[in-house]
Amino acid sequence: MPQPIFALLSALIAALALSTSPAFAAGDASAPTTRPAGYKPIAGDAKFGEKLFTDTKLSTNGMACASCHANHGSYSNSFAKHYPHTVTMAKEQLGQQSVYLDEMIQGCMVMPMAAKPLPWNSKELAGLVAYLQIQQKSFKPSR
Ligand code: HEC
């Protein structure tokens, strides 16, 4: 094929690839699922977090956190450990060696929930953290 058309086509393909790639970059230190500089978590309302946990409006694909995590489902044994710790999914897909609980929630927001991270200083993120801290206490690793 003539060269200009080829160049145009490859530019188009590159643009397409970019627009369909997820909103996060693996291993990117500025990835929005990592705490912003100077981040100070705010206290959250666990009752509000519990409500959000079952709210499909947080995702773009009809999922709620509870679709996977009801009754302690889908967690690996790492959930029993104090944060920050290594979570395989965050490590492999986001390049984060170790995550705080809020960072993991953001990871699930962008990966399985196919949504944007929650605003870092929001009562939504703080509420989910507070609720999950309670869930963590009754979580028993399977092995
Ligand atoms: C489609 C399924 C799915 C949905 C929906 C989902 N997650 Fe997850 N989540 C996972 C899987 C799978 C893991 C385990 C990853 C691993 O251990 O490698 C995980 C891990 C976690 C962990 C880390 C546990 C640890 O080992 O420390 C937390 C916390 C978490 N999810 C919270 C949430 C929250 C909050 C939401 C909703 C905003 C959510 N998840 C939505 C599948 C899901």
Which residue is closest in CA terms to ligand 1's atom 24? 79
Which residue lies with its CA nearest to atom 36 of ligand 1?
Answer: 65
Residue 120 lies in a domain: yes
- The verdict on residue 143 lying in a domain is no
Identify whether 72 is part of a domain. yes
Answer whether residue 9 is part of any domain. no
Number of domains into which the chain is organized: 1
| Residue 10 within any structural domain of the chain | no
Show the domain range for 71.
26-137
Tokens of 25: 């970059």
The model scores a pTM over 0.85: no
21 within some domain: no
Q: Is 63 exposed, middle or buried (0-12, 13-18, 19+ CB in 10 A)?
A: middle
Q: For the chain, 143 residues long, give each residue's pLDDT as a single digit of tens.
A: 556 555 654 554 444 444 444 444 343 333 489 999 999 999 999 999 999 999 999 999 999 999 999 999 999 999 999 999 999 999 999 999 999 999 999 999 999 999 999 999 999 999 999 999 999 999 999 86
Please tell me the distance between residue 32's alpha carbon and the centre of ligand 1 in angstroms.
17
Q: Is 99 helix (H, G, I), strand (E, B) or coil?
A: strand
**Residue 90 alpha carbon to ligand 1 centre in Å:** 10
3-state secondary structure 2-60: CHHHHHHHHHHHHHHHHHHCCCCCCCCCCCCCCCCCCCCCCCCCHHHHHHHHCCHHHCC
The answer to whether residues 118 and 106 touch, using CB atoms and an 8 Å cutoff, is yes
Distance in Å, CA 19 to ligand 1 centroid: 25
The CATH number of whichever domain residue 106 belongs to comes to: 1.10.760.10
